[in-house]
Structure formats: C-alpha cells, structure tokens
Amino acid sequence: MKHSAPRGRRLKRLACLGAATVVAGLLAAPSSGAAQAAPADPGTPPGVDEVASTPNLNQVAYLPKTGPFATSTNSDWAFQGNYAFGGNYNGFAVYDITNPKAPVVATQVLCPGSQNDISVYGNLLFLGTDSQRTNDSCDNSASSNATPGDRWEGIKVFDISDPVTPRYLKSVKTTCGSHTQTLVPGKAGDNSVYLYVSSYNLAATDQPNCALPHDKISIVRVPRADPQAASVVATPVLFPDGGYPGGSQGQSATTGCHDITAYPEKDIAAGACMGDGVLFDISVRSAPKVITTVRDTENFAFWHSATFNNNATKVVFTDELGGGGAATCNPEIGPERGADAIYDIVGRGNNRKLEFRSYFKIPRTNTDTENCVAHNGSLIPVPGRDIMVQAWYQGGISVWDFTDSSNPKELAYWERGPISATQFVSGGSWSAYWYNGFIYSNDIAKGVDVLELKDIRTNAARRAHTDEFNAQSQDNYRNW
C-alpha cells in the first residue's frame, strides 16, 4: 500500500493554491472526549512545523528519525505485541511501544532497498525490495540498468523470535521485485504463510527483471516449520486481456498490481491494480481467481490500495494521483480526484460485483509545497460502524466514517504544516494505522507520530485488542 514512485519516470507535479486551518504549536489542545465536528476548510494553512487538528485527535508522542534512517524515506508499518516494525528505504526499525506515549527505538536493521514494505507473522518478518540491487544480502547497493551482472529484487525473510535482534534467514527473488506484499495465512492443515507479491512497470519499455507485459503477481509460499524453504509457487496472470490500456488524461495502464488487501477469514481479497480495481476469491491460497473488476476512467489515475469494511460488504479504494509526489489537495484538482472511492459489494459468490457509491477526500486545501493524496490507512474497530484512519502524506491524518457508503463524513484530523513554505519538499504521513487504542503514523521525512483519538463515536474501539496487525491482511475485529 505505499509510495508509487514510478519506475523510469517522474509524474508532473501539480500546482496548488491554499487555505486551511492553523493551530500554532506542536501539540493540539486536549480533548474532552465529546463528539467533535471536523471543520471543512477552516482557514489559513498551518505554517512550517505547526500543527492543525480537531480537539478530539491529539499527538501524544513523537520520535524523530535517527541513525542510518535519518535521511532516508520512512514507509509502512506492521505490529506485534509490544513492538512496532517501521519500514525505511534503508531497512527497518523496531520500536518498543509498551508505553505508546513514550515509544523507544529498540533496534535498527540496516538493509537498503526501496521501499522495504513490511509484514509480520509469528516469528517471521517479511521485507519487500522493489529496486534492483547488486545482491540479496543486506550489504548491497543499487544496480542500474547499465550495470552488468546479476540484479536482485524480491522478498527477504527474517526471524524475529527475539524482536530486538532480527536474524536474516532467506531471500526469494520475484519478477519485477516486491513493491508491496500481502500476507495470507494458509488454511486449516496448511501450516504455511503465503505472500501475494505486487509489482508493476510504469516505464515505456522493458526493464531488467520486469519485462512487459507484466499482468501478473508472484505468490511466495513460506513453510512456517522451514522458512528457508520459501519459494515462488505461482505467478498467476490476472489480466489475460492486458487490463486497462490507460487514458489520455494521465490514467495509468494496468501492468501489474500496486497493492492487494486480503480478508482471509472471508476468502476474498481486493486488488488495486493501477488501472483496475479487482475483487478476488482466495479460497485456494495459491490460485486467486478474479471475481470482478471495475474501472473509473474519469477520476482515478492510479488504483493504489484497498480496505474492506469489517463485514466485507464494502471496499474503499484509493487513487494515488501524482504518485504521491504532487500537490493535489486543492480546488484545481477538486474533491473527486486523488481521493477514496467507496464501493459496495453486491451479489453472492462468483456473481459478486462492485458498485460505486461515493468519493471521500479530506476537506482541506494544502499549499503548493506539499504532496497530498489518499494513502495508507486501516479500520478503527468500532462495532456497527465503518470508520477508518488514513494517511494523506502532508495532508496529515484523517479519521472518517463511511457507514453510509453514499455519505462519508470526516470525524477528526491532525496535520503538520509544510516542510518548506517556499519550495516543494516531499514528506508527510505514509501510513497511519490504529493499533490497540492508539494511531501510529510513519512520517516520510520526520519520524514517528503517536496520536490518541478521544471521541464518543469511537470509544468502543478501546476495548478491542489484537496481538498482531498487518493492514493488508484484515482480521475480523469482532474476534479481537
């Protein structure tokens, strides 16, 4: 679910005009816990490093990037017990979050390779590499198209039996690398973990390790009893007709998938596949089958990620207009591009369809120096409601309710002002996820933010607790 920096080209950055709200200082005011309406576009944008927020969403901790990660991009999250595992283009960090209001860096693992997408399961951690490297070790460097010899990209497997001393076990090379990977546990009697590896090619020509047409995913099977036997067991072609060919207004062609979110208990998955939104049957873990696809050729530029509601009757797809490197939260772009799209799942079995209901986009205008677009989020476990928290890069963090698919509403937000007031600088929240009562944000440029939501509409979520969390492998939170 993650940053879509294109292979071989940069998308044009879009200009932006601004007007939003300012709450000066580094922390928002404390909340009474009462329901608060999130103002739509409350005035002047916050200044550099100032914070704007609704009173019900407060920052309770902040850790700046340090060591080998200080000048490298932060990426995605996974959680287990009292530890948060944060990806970074130089490796991953392990944070002790025993006290969420005082997190500490437990260890850092230097292992370069964008974008280091991360998942955890039991004693195993999986790290995705989507850049050509000189070898599969953690002592590697970038390998350009002009460099002769072997090039490696794919999945690395670590043992995290002791979370503060991860041990590298195994690599699995995958076609076109691993931009994201989706963890799917094996079914009864199969003590394996499956990784649906998504990757894509935005270049006009073939590239080493990523020949066109690239209309498939790679499926890696990892036997839990023998993780060093991990291997690619299938490379299903999802788009035998080639998928969406792309549009004249910058809409991406389908040459792979960017991200897949699985709901293993329901035997379904939703794929955000560049030009196509996809619903899969994953009852056979190594052979996902396309149930239906959907396209939005008017407003969606790049299908980026997906989130089910807890009942698996809806999917929220995100559009990463501009590849995460443009200012798109402005009146020129409007409320329907670079947004979320809410689809209801209707019908049964192989006759299920995705029916569009509405768009949601943060109702604030960012400045022309800030990248802002829909990005990674997760459900907040409120029984009977469909509520999620979501990162919007420098647009900040939004909590919104889509219980009424046709009328989504923002409940809370928190955002930090631009990195620069005079020039475009990329940054902001890459991923914002709910984990055991707190919201954790991995900021591309700044570090880790921990937020606390105090609102009567979401207080029931405080009773939910899970021992492991991967946003792309959704659990039924009624089991928590």
**268-296: per-residue pLDDT in tens?**
999 999 999 999 999 999 999 999 999 99
How much is the pLDDT for 202?
Answer: 87
Bridge partners of residue 168, in order along the sequence:
158
DSSP helix/strand/coil, 39: coil
Q: Write the pLDDT tens digit of every residue in 421-465.
A: 999 999 999 999 999 999 999 999 999 999 999 999 999 999 999
Residue with the two structure tokens 């994953």 = 282
DSSP letter for each residue of 299-348: T-S-EEEEEE-TTSSEEEEEE-GGGG-SB--STTT-TTSSSEEEEEEESS
> For the chain, what's the residue count?
480
pLDDT for residue 18 is more than 60? no
Q: 40 vs 375, which has greater pLDDT?
A: 375
- Nearest Cα residue to 38 out of 364, 385, 312: 364
Residue 189: CB atoms within 10 Å? 5
Q: How confident is the model at residue 3 (pLDDT cuts 50, 70, 90)?
A: very low
- Nearest Cα residue to 357 out of 340, 374, 333: 340
- Nearest Cα residue to 55 out of 381, 460, 453: 453
pLDDT for residue 152 is more than 50? yes
The answer to the question of residue 36 being in a domain is no
Cα 396 from chain centroid? Answer: 14
What CATH number corresponds to the domain at position 117? 2.130.10.10
pLDDT for residue 117 is more than 70? yes
The answer to whether the CB of 258 falls within 8 A of the CB of 5 is no
Q: Write the pLDDT tens digit of every residue in 81-111.
A: 999 999 999 999 999 999 999 999 999 999 9
Our count of domains for the chain comes to 1
How much is the pLDDT for 5?
Answer: 42
The answer to the question of residue 294 being in a domain is yes
- Nearest Cα residue to 430 out of 387, 359, 365, 373: 373
Region 401-407: mean pLDDT is 98
Residue 144: CB atoms within 10 Å? 10
The answer to the question of residue 14 being in a domain is no
Region 128-135: mean pLDDT is 95
Residue with the two structure tokens 């689809």 = 343
The answer to the question of residue 239 being in a domain is yes
Q: Write the pLDDT tens digit of every residue in 201-260.
A: 988 777 778 889 999 999 999 999 999 999 999 999 999 999 999 999 999 999 999 999
The answer to the question of residue 46 being in a domain is no
Bridge partners of residue 167, in order along the sequence:
159
The answer to the question of residue 18 being in a domain is no
Quickly list H helices, 51-134: none
Distance in angstroms (rounded) separating the CA atoms of residues 410 and 164: 38
Range of the domain at 81: 51-479
How much is the pLDDT for 145?
Answer: 67
The answer to the question of residue 30 being in a domain is no
**Residue 94 is encoded by which pair of tokens?**
């392990």
Q: Write the pLDDT tens digit of every residue in 159-200.
A: 999 999 999 999 999 999 999 999 999 999 999 999 999 999
**Residue 396 is encoded by which pair of tokens?**
């900040």
The answer to the question of residue 8 being in a domain is no
Q: How confident is the model at residue 38 (pLDDT cuts 50, 70, 90)?
A: low
96-105, long-range: CB < 8 A, 24+ apart: 96/164, 97/435, 97/438, 97/440, 97/450, 100/60, 100/61, 100/436, 100/437, 100/438, 100/440, 100/450, 101/60, 101/61, 101/450, 101/452, 102/61, 103/61, 103/63, 103/448, 103/450, 104/63, 105/63, 105/66
Percent share of the chain, pLDDT over 90:
87
How much is the pLDDT for 41?
Answer: 57
- Nearest Cα residue to 111 out of 98, 95, 127, 124: 127
How much is the pLDDT for 73?
Answer: 98
